[in-house]
Amino acid sequence: MFGDQKTNSSELPTVKLGDTAFVGSSKRVFKDELVEEGIPFYRGTEVGALAFGNSINPELFITQQHYEELVGHTGKPEIGDLLMPSICPDGQIWLVDTDAPFYFKDGRVLWVRPDRSVFDSTYLQYAMRNRFIADFESFASGTTFAELKIFILKNLVVALPPLALQQEFAAFVQQVDKLKFDYQNN
């Protein structure tokens, strides 16, 4: 619908992600701050599973009080924000779909909160996923393994179709997802 994201074959206007979205991560949580139960603490593994629609059983937690302190410093992901492991060549991008409290690992999970007047979150999720699958190695860095860094993600160039067209795409995706769900449950 929008052509090749890598080459922008549809010749759409483009923007740097950091110019139209908050791009960051969380505040550091240390190992000794983890507890047996409380607010779920997600690593890249859990975020990757959620990105592919899998259910998870959180293994790590922080206290409610610690959660509130952290959220006071950084805010918290909201429905429609995008979270992704820093290592996601297969496009593991979770479109946050819950108000339930959780927190996540700094640096290893990246957070994108798009300006909703510019981007539909579903469109952005798919545009980024396609881009990562096509050429993750070209913009990820690292000597041992390719990993996204916040500054790289901020400079990621994304095609910018009109918002109405992005929303039409999101409605189509929602309908396809509903059909898949109905098919799997019949």
pLDDT in tens, 65-120: 999 999 999 999 999 999 999 887 788 999 999 999 999 999 889 999 999 999 99
pTM for the predicted model, two decimal places: 0.87
Sequence-separated (6 or more) residues with CB below 8 Å from residue 7: none
Split into its structural domains, the chain has a count of 1
Distance CA 97, CA 102 (A): 12
Which structural domain range is residue 51 located in?
Answer: 14-184
CB 107: neighbour CB atoms within 10 A?
Answer: 13
Judge whether 126 lies within some domain. Answer: yes
- Other CB atoms within a 10 A radius of the CB of residue 61 amount to 19
- For residue 91, being part of any structural domain is answered with yes
In a domain, 2, yes or no: no
In a domain, 180, yes or no: yes
Look at phi and psi of residue 107 and say left if phi exceeds 0, alpha if psi is from -120 to 50, else beta: left
**Distance (Å, rounded) from C-alpha 152 to C-alpha 104?**
20
Residue 5 lies in a domain: no
Please give the Cα distance from 15 to 7 (Å, whole number).
14
CATH of the domain at 136: 3.90.220.20
Does some domain include residue 7? Answer: no
Q: Residue 3 and residue 10: Cα distance in Å, rounded?
A: 5
pLDDT tens digits, one per residue of 123-143: 999 999 988 888 777 766 655
